[in-house]
Amino acid sequence: MAERTTVDEHAAQVRELLSEALSPRPETVALADALDRVTWTEVLSPVDLPLFRNSQMDGFAVVASDISAVPVQLPVVGTIAARAGRPEALRAGTVVRIMTGAVVPDGADAVVPIEDTSGEGESVTINRTRSAGEYVRERGSDLHAGERLLPAALRLAPRHLAVLAAAGISEVEVRSRIRVAVITTGAELVAPGQAAGPGEVFDANGIALEAAVRSCGAEVGFVARNQDDDPESLRTSMVEATASADLVITSGGISMGDYEVVRELLEPLGARVGSIAMQPGGPQATGEFNGVPVVSFPGNPVSTQISFEVFVAPLLREAAGRPAAVRRNRTLAGDLRSVPGKRQFARGRSLDGERVEVVSGPGSHLVAGLAASDVLIDVPLETIGLKEGDTVETWAL
């Protein structure tokens, strides 16, 4: 990787590296676990919907021609509830009480709502005429067996699960979730909640990457923090990580200093470790371990988070059928110093629909600044500096 590798070139390389790992695979899940998953194929209905001809109202199933002149008093021969069972056919000249959703008996061709009747007992007076078909839901009037219930590549919302259930389907084939392993590295790291001595910092990257992966619709099956500056210790973590993951993300250990543990382990295995024209997030690496792709970010927490957003998040969202992060132009509310020769992702806060102000400086340690942002401001490589009123592209966080 040459020093001047661009963001777009590195993004294309990450996409290429991950193309097989992120290519969809099918998985069958129960409906209760299928919310927000993405259909693998279109789903055809195994049944007619409704399953049988049924009543739209509480009232009386009738032969329409019996009530062409009203009022008319007719004998009530029974009651059909909404429950299992096949009712007897209705004889002309009689009516049967019927509940919403209950089977309309053969012979009957309309339902008279209860509010259009009076004097119910052994007979009932029908006060309003109804035509054949009124208040009757015909079998298959919503959808016929063999018709498409749901298209392929659909992210399943509650209403989609409802129609699957209504058709008697209890599980659905969906795209498998991408399984990501997260390994943070750095001898200076301690877990949040523990005590940090001199020279130690709390590991923000583990939780940030885990949450970010989940936000993109992928799952995190393995998280490790590697506090040894020992490639062999990292190797042990990588063996465990790659046993089940489609993709490993690491943070730290890939720059030009000493104790670059990710570089030391992966470079001899063929990883490309280098620097790209980007700030923050210059050092970047891609490689493989046990045949599983590894994408490595620098360890500064802002660099890690922005690297994930730029290089991996778009691919994971795509794989999970999630919408891409919104990119739109806004107007700068102040000047923005840029770094010549680097594409800068400055942290911004949108002020209204149109404007954006810069939050904090460019430093890759400014985690509070990033937390206070809601967009990244994409400052192109060739830009020397931006002024208040300039138009910039922003990426929603």
Residues 227-256 that bind a copy of itself (CB under 8 A): 229, 255-256
Tell whether residue 257 is a contact of a copy of itself (CB under 8 A). Answer: yes
Number of H helices, E strands in the chain: 8, 28
Which of residues 182 and 289 has its CB atom nearest to a copy of itself in the complex? 182
Which of residues 222 and 289 has its CB atom nearest to a copy of itself in the complex? 222
Phi-psi label, residue 91: left if phi above 0, alpha if psi -120 to 50, beta otherwise? beta
Q: Shortest gap between Cβ of 385 and a copy of itself (angstroms)?
A: 20
Kindly indicate which of the ranges 4-12, 152-160, 318-326, 378-386 contains the residues binding a copy of itself, using the contact rule CB under 8 A. Answer: 152-160
How many Cα neighbours within 13 Å face the side chain of 170?
0
How many whole angstroms separate alpha carbon 214 and alpha carbon 56?
Answer: 43
Residues 319-358 that bind a copy of itself (CB under 8 A): none
Q: Of these, 66, 109, 116, 210, which contacts a copy of itself (CB under 8 A)?
A: 210
On whether the CB atoms of residues 182 and 207 are closer than 8 A, the answer is no
Q: Does residue 71 have a cis bond before it (omega within 30 degrees)? A: yes
Which of residues 259 and 355 has its CB atom nearest to a copy of itself in the complex? 259
Site string for a copy of itself, 18-37 (x = CB under 8 A): -------------xx--x--
Q: Of these, 9, 134, 173, 200, which contacts a copy of itself (CB under 8 A)?
A: 200
DSSP at 291 = T
Site size for a copy of itself (CB under 8 A):
96
3-state SS, residue 302: helix
Residue of 340, 235, 261, 255 lying closest to 1 (CA atoms): 255
Site string for a copy of itself, 265-294 (x = CB under 8 A): ------------------------------
Q: Of these, 1, 11, 29, 50, which contacts a copy of itself (CB under 8 A)?
A: 50
Residue identified by tokens 């792709």 is 293
Q: What are phi and psi of 262, to 5 degrees?
A: -70, -45
